[in-house]
Amino acid sequence: MANENLVKIKVNDNGSLRITGAVELLDAEGNLFEHEESFSLCRCGGSKNKPFCDGTHKSIGFESTPRAKKE
């Protein structure tokens, strides 16, 4: 499934969700968040810039390393 138009979401170990590709990010009311074509979303809950990651996961000891199931 190699498609240059495909949006990629990478779950970073002990960190953020890295989004790469053309995507619209909307709040609960449908308002568009401004962002670059590549950006990170908070997964630890500690960011002061939610929904974006500000690196807080490093200082609070957030740990999560999920893996996709291999067939």
Average pLDDT of the segment spanning 30-45: 97
Structure tokens belonging to residue 24: 């619209």
Kindly report, residue by residue over 12-26, the tens digit of the pLDDT.
999 999 999 999 999
Give me the pLDDT at residue 5, please.
Answer: 83
Give me the pLDDT at residue 34, please.
Answer: 97
The span from the CA of 50 to the CA of 56, in Å, is 11
Give me the pLDDT at residue 2, please.
Answer: 62
Q: Which long-range contacts (CB under 8 A, 24 or more apart) does 38-42 make?
A: 40/12, 40/15, 40/16, 41/16, 41/17, 42/16
Give me the pLDDT at residue 3, please.
Answer: 72
Q: Which amino acid is at 43?
A: R
* Mean predicted lDDT score pLDDT of the chain: 95
